[in-house]
Amino acid sequence: MLARGGVIPPACVQPCASHVLLRSDTPWFRVHRIAVHFLSNARQDRQERVAAFAFAALMRSAYAQDAVAVDPAHHKVEFENDQIRVVHVVFPPGESSVMHSHPCLIAIGVADGELTFRLPDGSTRLAPIRRGEVLVVRQPPTHNPVNNSGTTHDVMVVELKTGCPK
């Protein structure tokens, strides 16, 4: 260990078979012990921060995926340009999707239906829509839709790429 502008005095060092030990009766030992404690805590803090960041990134990627990309069987793009994307969403009875998200959207019911949204925190929310009903959803939750009803859920979704109007 180096001191500011110098080297550890030889009197403070004990040779050891595999490395150098600091003698415990010197100030260098106390400095070394504090440095080792600080570095091990910093390493642990860094590992915890890296693990938390990786977990958050994984959860975001797992929970905020594009519906068409992760579930093309139920989400079909009918039209797309630089401002909107129109997606036809059809869920026959008993079928479900995977966790995904949408930007701000306008949903138009093609047929009466009701989905159960499973949310990332484990809770559920009912999402009913009637034929001809128009819903504006400013902040759609990340969800995994399940059709527990006996009818096919059929809706046209207009995703607004430029954000929600005020």
pLDDT at 4 (0 to 100): 47
pTM for this model (two decimals): 0.61
According to CATH, the superfamily of the domain at 67-160 is Jelly Rolls (2.60.120.10)
Domain ranges of the chain: 2-63, 67-160
In this predicted structure, the answer to whether residue 121 has a pLDDT above a threshold of 90 is: yes
CB neighbour class for 115 (10 Å; exposed up to 12, middle 13-18, buried from 19): buried
Check pLDDT > 80 for residue 12: no
Q: Which 8-state DSSP code applies to residue 112?
A: -
- % of the chain beyond a pLDDT of 90: 54
How do residues 21-69 score in pLDDT, each as one tens digit? 445 555 544 444 544 554 455 556 666 665 555 554 444 444 468 999 9
- Kindly state the helix (H) or strand (E) to which residue 35 belongs, with its residue range: helix 27-63
CB 151 within 8 A of CB 111: yes
- Mean of all residue pLDDT scores within the chain: 77
